[in-house]
Amino acid sequence: MAQTGVLLTKEPAPQSIDVCELPRKEYEVACNTGAYTSSGLATAGFRTAKYLRDEWFQNSYARYHQAFADRDYSERQRHESGQLVAETGALAQRTQLDSTRKVGERLEDMHCWKSELQREIDELSSETDLMMAQKLRLQRALDATSVPYSIATDNLQCRERRQHPDLVRDYVEVELLKETELIRNIQELLKRTIGQAVDQIRLNREHKESCEMNWSDKVEVYNIDDTCSRYTNESTQVQFYPHSSKFEESASTPETWAKFNHDNLLRAERERLASVNLRKLIDCILRDTAEDLRLQCDAVNSAFSSRCQELDDSLQKLQYHLRKVAERGGGVEHVPQSVKGEASGCGAGTAEPGGFTHESGEGHRSQDQQPLYRPPEVYDPPQPLPQCPPAGWLPVTGAGTWPHCFIQIKSSLVF
């Protein structure tokens, strides 16, 4: 259709299609000049508000073109929307699958850490029970040392109460002093070891409590993640909360979370190993102290045996000499009275308080009527010595009346 000059009363309506897609058409506005123009004043009132035919075609074509462009734009938008929906759905599906996979991996990690914490808690509990048993052994060993210590100190005190000739510092006393010093050192060592055992038990319980708190958190989070991993798009229990996807500043990252768990387990494992080493040390201490006490006890017993043997030998010698003295004194007292009378009638001797006289040699040699008297106890062959009586008060028996001759022998020798 040929384009002719037409009269326009206003600017054409702008195109709804973008300029880059549909170039704008330029129109030439006709001027009111010429033979067929409406410049006449008589018809000015009838034709000023009407469109020409070309203007009507132009307006209709513009509307048709605008509708076609709008429909084409709508189809493109619908097509793009469909593609966007499909892409969004596929992306959401991939995201959900990836999230489900990550939740599964987190559940595996959670189960692993939970199992490790449970194992460490059980080992710490067992180790604490064993340490309590070792502490009880130490306390019993400390109580057991009080008896030999009291015996050793009592022996030393009893030895201090001996008479002056027997108050001597011999090897028995030296061994007893060594035993008391050894027992005091062992008691101090056991007390320090008991303190270390108490501190280790406290540390074990503290780390066990820390592991139990961490384990309870892992159990709660594991149950939450296990429930969340079963949710789907059709789940009716899904509830949306505002700011639920917001990353909090106080939340930990997977790296810091794993480091916290590793450090917690490492500290608990370190304390458990320290407890094991302390138990081994306690076993060695108890074994060594028992061996030292046994060796020292054997040394004291050996010293006692040697000293008792020496004292017994000395006692046997003293008893032997005492019997000899008693026999000699009793033989002199059994001289017959006739001999005593004759000796007294000689008048050549000096009377002794014991009832016999010392005579001069001339007086004895001048006896012509009766020979010199020789007591049989002096020239008879020696008789076998009687056996020593048991410990106690031992009377010294003689042939005469030897007054008040007793020897006090202690029934037990105290060192």
Tell me the DSSP string of 154-191: HHHHHHHTS-GGG----HHHHHHHHHHHHHHHHHHHHH
In this structure, of 99-113, 185-199, 234-248, the range with the lowest mean pLDDT score is 234-248
Cα separation, 149 vs 146, in Å, equals 5
In a domain, 183, yes or no: yes
Partners of 357 in beta bridges = 351
In this structure, of 207-211, 294-298, 353-357, 372-376, the range with the lowest mean pLDDT score is 353-357
What is the per-residue pLDDT across 170-189, written as a single tens digit (0 to 9) for each?
Answer: 888 889 999 999 999 999 99
In a domain, 76, yes or no: no
The SS3 assignment for 364 reads helix
- In one-letter notation, the amino acid at residue 90 is A
Closest-CA residue to 341 (of 356, 330, 360):
356
In a domain, 44, yes or no: no
In a domain, 334, yes or no: no
The whole-number pLDDT of residue 384 equals 46
What's the mean per-residue pLDDT of the chain?
75
Interhelix angle 146-160/171-228, nearest 10 degrees = 160
Count of structural domains, the chain: 1
Name the residue range of residue 172's domain. 113-230+255-321
In a domain, 181, yes or no: yes
Does position 101 have pLDDT exceeding 50, yes or no?
yes
Report whether 362 contacts 294 (CB < 8 A): no
- In one-letter notation, the amino acid at residue 8 is L
In a domain, 296, yes or no: yes
In a domain, 348, yes or no: no
User: For 50, left (φ over 0), alpha (ψ -120 to 50), or beta?
Assistant: beta
Closest-CA residue to 171 (of 307, 283, 270):
307
Cα separation, 265 vs 273, in Å, equals 12
- What separation, in Å, do the N-terminal and C-terminal C-alpha atoms of the chain show? 150
User: Whole-prediction pTM value?
Assistant: 0.57
In this structure, of 51-65, 70-84, 278-292, 354-368, the range with the lowest mean pLDDT score is 354-368
* Burial letters 175-186, b for 16+ CB under 10 A, else e: bbeebbebbeeb
**Other CB atoms closer than 10 Å to residue 85's CB: what's the count?**
10
Report whether 409 contacts 315 (CB < 8 A): yes
CATH number of the domain bearing residue 303: 1.20.1270
Does position 126 have pLDDT exceeding 90, yes or no?
yes
In a domain, 166, yes or no: yes
> Best-predicted range by mean pLDDT among 320-329, 373-382, 392-401?
320-329
Does position 396 have pLDDT exceeding 80, yes or no?
no
* Burial letters 35-71, b for 16+ CB under 10 A, else e: eeeeeeeeeeeeeeeeebebbeebeeeeeeebeebee
- In one-letter notation, the amino acid at residue 58 is Q
The whole-number pLDDT of residue 232 equals 81
Cα separation, 147 vs 138, in Å, equals 15
The SS3 assignment for 29 reads strand
